[in-house]
Amino acid sequence: MIAYLPHTDEDIEAMLEVIGVAGIDQLFADIPRELILKEPLQIPAGLPEHEVYRRMRALAERNRVQNVSFLGCGSYDHIIPAVVSHILSRSEFYTSYTPYQAEISQGFLQAVFEFQTMICELTGLEVANASLYDGHTAASEAAVLALNSVRRSETILYSSTLHPFTRQVLRTHFSNLPVHLEEIPSKNGTTDLVDLVAKLRPGVAGVILQSPNYLGYVEDLSGLAQDLHDNGSLLILSANPLSLGVLKPAGEWGADIAIGDTQALGLPSYFGGPSVGYITATEKLLRKMPGRIVGQSLDQEGKRAFLLTLQAREQHIKRERATSNICSNQALAALATTVYLATLGRQGIREVAEQNTQKAHYLYGRLVKETAAEPLFDRPFFNEFPIVLAKKAAEVLPRMEERGFYAGVDLNRLDPSTPEGTLAIAVTERRTREEMDAFVEALKEVLR
């Protein structure tokens, strides 16, 4: 076995001699003695490459990858065309990280520019950045953008129908800042808009809502933007971007900022990440947008060229008054979304979204009619819905798993305020009729 260390014993000796140190141990003299290992770590010796492969393959085979997934709640099992991973694994994209040197990063900058353009088109808003870490942190960034844009504001209102993780990230992000966060309760599965409007007052920078919300239900936001704007507050709308193939986007609701996570657009669930957060806003908010923004310009020969732009917002220029402290983006994962969107096109996105809607409604209809499960509420939904089982989810899920299904997310585990036995079931375009029919039969059996 080779240790893969670049220095030979002679190299090390020569270097020690130059700096006048007797041995390598002396370089660590500042570390307290009791913290230094007395003997080598108790780990097995190295294995030859082919034995590592064998061992890893044996481990991988224990995963139940053949199970049919109805998991959702922010991470979904969609079809990803082969072209996505093909483009992604090209070394020009795979190995290049940060596009500070615009002249040698034209490929990546163009891809990010396309990402921004397509996210703007999907959300119906005017400016987008190069991406954020995920949908949950995008909510925090949107809140900061609102607080920076609305003078003398210190309050952010958010709905209790936001994904529980988004609510947790918001609370963590602002826990030590002079910002007041206030949760708006829900009523029959969607935000209590009467309560929301009653809470509007001077100092409210913005209101964050999610539609489809974390239960899967579509929120009706008619007239809300006007109420908020009359109060000088901004409307921040979070959405699964795929749902915008069939649902009204943020721009049409009169929202000022749109946020969300692009996992549904070309990214596998992995083990929960990496994902991509998106943020778009009206042009009025452009100068306060967080993160990188790629712009289009002309080079000295008059040819189309791309660059990072509007950097006066960022901390290396504006110092302590910066409105952007991200300094990075999810470049490679955002590229996956870009390739996915470009492959499907406008018509394709609509078609995928329609298939999601139709299949989810087919399964919903059968489950409600034929099994002992009840819908949590009777509300419009996109591609996921909650049902209440007569048994505990913790009892039902392992038995469904044995029958070849990941049956859904236990919502009570995600948010204890949801009744026990509530299962969130997501149906994507990837599910076939046979799979859904088999799922119904299996659930009947398990609930019997």
Partner 1 sequence: MEIPKDLKYAKTHEWVRIEEDVAYIGISDYAQEELGDIVYVEMPSPEDSYDKGEEVATVESVKAASAIYTPITGTVKEINSDLESTPELINQKPYEAFIFAIRFSDASGFDELLDAQSYEKHVEQEKDSH
The residues binding partner 1 (CB under 8 A) are 151, 287, 312-313, 317-318, 321
Minimal distance, residue 282 CB to partner 1, in Å:
15
Minimal distance, residue 325 CB to partner 1, in Å:
14
Minimal distance, residue 290 CB to partner 1, in Å:
15
- Which C-beta is closer to partner 1: that of 318 or that of 391? 318
Torsion angle, CA of 426/83/137/427, rounded to 10 degrees? 0
- Which C-beta is closer to partner 1: that of 282 or that of 355? 282
Run of H or E including 305: strand 304-308
Strand pairing partners for 412?
Answer: none
Torsion angle, CA of 172/178/180/181, rounded to 10 degrees? -20
Q: For residue 239, what are the contacts with CB-CB under 8 A and spacing of at least 6?
A: 123, 210, 211, 212, 247, 249, 250, 258, 260
CA-based nearest residue to 281, from 273, 272, 271, 291: 291
Minimal distance, residue 236 CB to partner 1, in Å:
21
Minimal distance, residue 288 CB to partner 1, in Å:
9
CA 339 to CA 274: how far, in whole Å? 16
- Which C-beta is closer to partner 1: that of 287 or that of 346? 287
Question: What is the β-pairing status of strands 304-308 and 294-298?
Answer: antiparallel
Tell me the two tokens of residue 340.
């996915």
- Which C-beta is closer to partner 1: that of 90 or that of 287? 287
Q: Which amino acid is it at 20?
A: G
What is the DSSP code (8-state) at residue 227? H
Minimal distance, residue 235 CB to partner 1, in Å:
19
Minimal distance, residue 316 CB to partner 1, in Å:
11
294-298 long-range Cβ contacts below 8 angstroms, 24+ apart: 294/99, 294/109, 294/112, 294/113, 294/116, 294/130, 295/113, 296/113
Run of H or E including 426: strand 422-426
Minimal distance, residue 315 CB to partner 1, in Å:
11
Run of H or E including 142: helix 135-149
CA-based nearest residue to 133, from 306, 291, 276, 256: 276
- Which C-beta is closer to partner 1: that of 96 or that of 311? 311
- Which C-beta is closer to partner 1: that of 303 or that of 319? 319
Instruction: Note if the bond before 212 is cis, omega within 30 degrees.
Output: yes
Minimal distance, residue 231 CB to partner 1, in Å:
15
- Which C-beta is closer to partner 1: that of 285 or that of 331? 285
- Which C-beta is closer to partner 1: that of 134 or that of 314? 314
- Which C-beta is closer to partner 1: that of 149 or that of 422? 149
Strand pairing partners for 424?
Answer: 386, 409
